[in-house]
Each structure stands twice: as structure tokens, then as C-alpha cells.
Chain A
Amino acid sequence: MSRRMFSRSLCQIKSLSRSSGLAGFQPLLHNRPYATTRQPAASASSSSLNQTELAKFAAIADSWWDAEGPFKPLHIMNPTRLAFLRSTLCRHFGKDPFSVRPFEGLKFVDVGCGGGILSEPLARMGASVTGIDAVEKNIKIARLHADLDPVASSIEYRCTTAENLVEEQMKFDAVIALEVIEHVADPAEFCKSLSALTVTNGATVVSTINRSMRAYATAIIAAEYILHLLPKGTHQWSSFLTPEELVMILQCASISVEEMAGFAYDPLTGQWSLTDDIGVNFIAFGIKNNL
């Protein structure tokens, strides 16, 4: 089955990263245009963020919950990402997949929560969710929307960064950062922060877009310029990560990636589905190693 083929390729990625080491990949990571600019020490530990990106999201913050607005693809993709999360996290934590609230008693953090479109369903599934985002407006919108549902109003939203939480020595059972890492200035630092927030044997889930030609054609040209599904300039192809790179930087952060899956969009039905094809959008589930 393609799942076996897939885990074989995952092993290849892991062995490649272990053998060649960091040196082989560093030039690529430092090719990011804004990797060298460091933010002034006002918030000294916000080193993995990028102000241009923050400003982009602040501008469209009001439309987070408009299912027809600029965040429409994210809304449509949401159930598919949640299906992957439910499947892998239920298995990892040994929870009943038929339970309505399988994550009862677990602490999750949604890094880069935006308007809370991932945090609210996770809270409905029983988790104690903390949602963090660097854009103040997003947190305001998220809190307003969460108050509409008594289950979601238990979510703790904070306008802060992963690095700040690390300084506060917070720990979570699962750290989830979906569609964030491609907007971050220093992905390696970011992954180290994610890892520091995860308890030993906890879960870290990261999703992003592959830096492949297909992704350029699909996620940038088709999505932004032709079909106008996303505003122009939402994504920079050079800041995408390949699966190999992501596995490697997570490995360096003591997280071993156990599973990966891809998302495929069918423009005819307008539906996303989980697939083994990690050529465009992909999601990685990793476990924090015993240090």
C-alpha cells in the first residue's frame, strides 16, 4: 500500500539528514531574504518573526471568520487538517476514536492561531487549548468569536510568541503550528521553540507548503494569480520548506517525525482530501524525544 512506500521514503529522509548533517542544508535556510534582519530587542526573543508578514495578516484580520473571504481556502481545508490531527493524536495518546471529546484532559497550544479556526474545533474535541498569535487584532477577533460558543470560550488566547512561552517554561502535550512556518524568519529557531514547549513524548505537528515547482504553479500562480483564491503576496516561494528540510530541522530540535501526509485540492468539487502526495501542501506529525 502506498503507506508502506511512504514510510520507507520517510526513513530515507531521516537517514539522509542524519548522515549529511546540518552543514549541507544551511545555505538553503539562510537564503531567506529576511533571515539576517533581526528585530530590535523590544521583545528580545521574537527572533523568528517577520514584521512584513505580521503586517500582511493584520490588514485582513477582520475577515477571519468570513467563510467567503480571503481565508476561504483555509476554512475549506480545516476539516481535512482536523481529520489528520484527530487520527494521529488519538493514536498517539491512546484515545478512543469514537469518542466525542477524545482530547479531554490534554493541553494543546495552537501557535499562530489567527482567528482561532483551528483552536475552536480542538476545544470542542475536549482539549484545553491555548491559542497564541503575534498579531493583536487576530487575538481580539479570536476571543470575540470564541465567546459565541460556551465550549470555545474556555480557550485561552494570548498575543505573544512561542519564544515568550518558552521563557515562561510552559509545557504542552501537543504543540500545533499549521501554515505558520512559511511566514517565519528563522524556521530552525522556531522549531527549537516548538520543541521546548512540548513535553517529552508529546506531539508536535507542523504543516506547510513544499518548495517544489508544482507548489509554485499551484499555490502561488493558480491560487493567487489565476483563481484568486488567496490575496497576491500571501506566500513567498523561497520561504517554503521541503519535507526533507522540515524533518531535518525538527530532528535537530529533538523531534522525530513519525508521519507525514499531503493535502490535495480538487477544484471541481472544491474539496480537500488527505493523500500520500506531499508535493504541494503537507503536514508532519512528530514526537518529542527523550532528552
Chain B
Amino acid sequence: MRPAFGSVNEPRISENQLPPLSCSIIEHSGDMSRLIATIRLASNIFVPRLATRTFCTDAPEKLNDVPSGSHSNKEPNDDEGLPQHDIAIVGGGMVGMALACSLASMPLTKHLSIAIIDSNPALSNGPVIKKDDPPDPRVSTVTPATISLFKDIGAWEYVEQHRHAYFDKMQVWDYTGFGYTRYNARDADKDVLGCVVENKVLHKSLLSCLQNKDIKNTIYPTRLSSISLPTRSSVSSAGASASNISTKNLANLAKLDLSDGTNLYAKLVVGADGSKSRVRELAGIKTTGWNYSQSAVICTVEHPTENFCAWQRFLPAGPIALLPIGDNFSNIVWTMSPKDASNHKIMNEDDFVKAVNHALDFGHGPRPESRVFGGDVISSFFRPDVTSSVHERFEPPPKVLKLASDRMAFPLSLMHANQYASKRVVLIGDAAHTVHPLAGQGVNMGYGDVSSLLNVIADGVAVGSDIGEVTLLKKYEADRKTANITMMAVLDGFQKAYSVDFGPVNILRAAAFNGANVFAPLKRNIISYASGELRLPFLS
């Protein structure tokens, strides 16, 4: 039986839900109820919106010469025939599309014209995803914070119509058999810990959401080759020589050259093009990081019955995670040395299934003993404040029957860009940071970046700033850098703590397992932090 779920987190007030006499979000001072009452009565509230709609229907007739793919609503060209956009999002993946959709959802930003540059053909005319398609091994675990972002955008309904799996339980243990921790969403008074969704479903949900929105967007199905960013000298020389105002204006914008020969101008270039970001390279932003001497093998497997719990067992070479993805399928993320990863990728299917079952249960060490809580002196100290999951016994993970998809292997590394923003350029998602998959946080950090950048851009538009101005973008960087670096430090700490097989360290880890299991405030804090509710751990 599927667990029931309610709303997660504080609902953000979206434009459609705004009742006549409620408080607004952006203002710093003033009596808002008075203001809202005034504006609801004023008729000029509709004038700007009407103007935008008329513009949109007229615009497509103007443009014949731009060799771009599918688009809805066009941006006027300047004198030289090159299109100008407000924001150019390089990379139309899960995070880039989420930014485009959220810009379309906010009243202050939906007038901006967006260009999305991605050569992935799925963006222009991808195949329709059916509910009973074979499962794709590329999945992501989305936290409640990300779910509420999707709900605000309006993309979550699509996800719910396709294969997805909410889970409310998690069990973490290691091969030594000394201890285990069980997390239950009810420990932190929530309904779910997260939801596991295939990446293609997440992506398609955002794509179809964008198509239904009223924002001017153009998709360029090509790659970025180079960017010319305005420098002090280019701006002042253009000012001195050119009498044409439009030339002066263009010298102040970022010019993008695409590999099919198209050029376009933008006020802000967003690099959402993944860990090998071209935007980051062209902007000259350096990175810090290291490779883990590990690779991850991912695949989908099938069980005899449905799985509602997320399982993670730390082995000497790395953790193996089993995540439910819906129906009777689960996704495996198994971290191991690169050599073992390539062996596991090519070994025959039955051997692989045997290896998986061995790794999940009984392999490398015994099962932990179920600790029954209560009765002794120590637990009497905790009796008033104890989570319900502390009474749960250790459960062995479900048996894997067979493989349900291809196996893939990826090398793992930690990477962090030294800056997230420079003049007219900003980085989000994997272009700014990559982490170890052991806690399923990677893409959720990217969605956190999207929320933050959206608010920064909206605040900038509200006070009439130039959205490509460094001082504005640095606010986004200041907000996200702390949060991302903290998360990366925590995850890296875990990765290093679990790669040591040494007696005293094993005992310490076991103590940590049991401590996290029993000590309720710590468990609640861990759950809240991993769910994306807390920006920093332990500081609430």
C-alpha cells in the first residue's frame, strides 16, 4: 500500500493563489493590506499584462531569418538582425529547464525573454514518455524542498502521472554489523523523506511545463562555441567611436557564438551545462576539487514485491544503495573501485544479480543485531524525547530477482567552482558543484541554486537593476556558496569516514550509527537537513 502524503514544507504563495487581502512577498515596509485593497480596485493593474499579450501575437511575423528550432513567442532583433535576449540559459537539462520554468512562474520575471541553448534533440521534439516504459537507470532522489519547487512551478503533476516513488523510510548500516540507523519521515513530522524519479521524467515534466507558460523563450538546438563578455575597454571604446546608440548598447551585453553560426546577445548568461561546463571555462572561472578513486555502477533491478524504503549499506570499497522507483523496480547505485566497476558492468547478468544480493546482505560481514530500545539505564534518559523509528527492528533488504535495465558506470569526483558569478555570467547546478552520490543531494543542490537565483533576479527586477550586474549576482553566490560548501563538506566527511577499515574507526562509526538512531534531536536535524529545509546543519 502506498504511503499517503500531504503537503510538504511551507507553501510558497504563487501568483494564482493570491487572495485579495493577503500579504505580498517582496516588500520591505508598508501596510500591505491597504496596498492590496487599493490595487485590486484599480483598473490599471491589467494594462501591463494586456500589452504583453498583444506583443506576443505580433512578434512571430517579424522574424524569418533566425535558424533556430522550436520556439514560442519571439524576441525582436536589433538593427544588425541579431536576436537579443534577457537571459541565455546554456544547457537545457533538469536544472537549466527548472530555471526557465521558475522564471516563467513569477510575476516579476515572466516578461523576460529567455534563450535556451542545448543540442539535445529531446528538447525540440522528444518522444512521449509512457507510464509503462522500461525503467531508465538514470534516476534522482528529489527532496521535499525540490518537490515544493516543482509544485510551485506546476511541473509536479506531470511527474505524478508517470513512474515515481515516494519513500518514508530509510535504513543505513555497514558491513561490520555493529550498528544501524533507521529513519522514518514521521520522526520529523513529515509524510515523506523524498521521492525517486527517473531523470527523463523530471526533464520532460519541466519541458511540457515551459511549453504551457506564457514566457518568451527560444530554443537553440546547438552548442555554444564562444562568448564575448563586455570589458571596461570595449564599452568605453564603443562609446567613443559609435554614434549609434544600439552599438553602444550591444557592446555592454554578452555575445554568444553558437556552433551552427548563429549569434545572439544576452544581458545574463546562465551556465547550466553540467560538470564540464563550457560557460565556466569561457568565463575563466577556476575550480577546486579532487577525484574519488571510486566509480558508481547504476542499474535498475526488479523485486518480487514493491519496495517502500531506501536502503544504504556501506561496504569497504563504497556504499551500495537500493532506491525504490515505482512498481516493483528499484535503482541500484553501487560505489566501488574503477576496476571493479568495469568488471561489474560487463559480467553476465546472473552473476551480477548474485553479487548485488551478496553486497546487500551477508556479504563482507554479518547483519547488525536489532537493538531493542528501552529497559536499561541509558535509555531512561531519552525516554521523553524519542523518535518512533528507534523501536523499529533491523530489516533485511528485499531480494533482487533480476536486472531490468542496462548497467552504466561513472567516475566520481568532488568539484566546486571558485566563483559562481562574474560579470554577466552565473553558474548553477553541476556547472558550479559536483558531489558524491552517497546522500542523493547533487541535483537537489542544483535546485536550491535555481530557487536562490530566481529570488535574486526577481529582487533585481523589482528595484530596476541590470540583471547582469555583478553586485546582484554576488548576492546569489553569497547565499548558495555557504550552503553548498557545507553540504559538500558533510558528504566528503562521510565518504572519507566510510572508506577506512580500521578497528577503532569501525567502533566509532558504530557508535555514530547508534547515536543517530537513538538521539532524537540529532535524527530530526539530519532528516531536516537532508530534506532541504535547513540551510546549514545543526543551526536551526
Contacts and interface: CB of A to CB of B under 8 A. Distances in A.
B249 A274 contact: no
A115 to B, nearest CB: 14
A96 interface: yes
Given A79-B459, A95-B44, A125-B464, A144 B30 contact: no
A91 B30 contact: yes
B249 A96 contact: no
Interface string A141-154: 00010011110010
B539 interface: no
A88 interface: yes
Interface in B34-79: 34-35, 38-39, 42, 44-45, 47-48
B27 A101 contact: no
Given A75-B471, A144-B239, A121 B107 contact: no
A147 B248 contact: yes
Contacts of B29: 3, 84, 87-88, 259, 261, 274
B455 to A, nearest CB: 13
B464 A104 contact: no
A107 interface: no
Contacts of A269: 478
A76 interface: yes
Contacts of B239: 144, 147-148
Contacts of A90: 35
B252 interface: yes
A97 B24 contact: yes
Contacts of A150: 245-246, 249
Contacts, number: 104
B107 A76 contact: no
A83 B466 contact: no
Majority-rule SS of B interface residues:
helix
A133 interface: no
Interface string B407-443: 0000000000000000000000000000000000000
Contacts of A100: 48, 108, 111, 461
Nearest to A153: B245
Interface residues of A, number: 41
A77 B75 CA distance: 33
Given A79-B465, A121-B464, A94 B252 contact: no
B462 interface: yes
Given A67-B471, A97-B39, A101-B48, A148 B27 contact: no
Nearest to B36: A97
Given A75-B471, A147-B248, A148-B239, A82 B108 contact: no
B248 A84 contact: no
B235 A148 contact: yes
Nearest to B267: A149
A182 interface: no
A120 B239 CA distance: 17
A91 B35 contact: yes
Given A79-B463, A121-B464, A150-B246, A97 B27 contact: yes
B253 to A, nearest CB: 9
A83 B28 contact: yes
Contact of A121 (B108, B245, B465): B465
A95 B39 contact: yes
Contacts of A91: 30, 34-35, 38
Given A3-B31, A79-B465, A88-B30, A98 B245 contact: no
21 contacts: A3-B31, A67-B471, A83-B462, A87-B29, A88-B29, A94-B38, A95-B44, A97-B24, A97-B27, A98-B108, A99-B45, A99-B107, A104-B48, A120-B464, A121-B465, A124-B466, A125-B464, A148-B249, A148-B251, A148-B252, A150-B249
Given A82-B463, A120-B464, 20 more contacts: A79-B463, A82-B464, A83-B28, A86-B463, A87-B28, A87-B29, A88-B30, A94-B38, A95-B39, A96-B42, A98-B107, A98-B108, A100-B461, A101-B48, A121-B464, A125-B463, A147-B248, A148-B235, A148-B251, A150-B245
Chain A to chain B: the 9 pairs with minimum beta-carbon distance, closest first: A121-B464, A124-B464, A82-B463, A148-B252, A98-B107, A125-B464, A274-B28, A96-B45, A87-B30
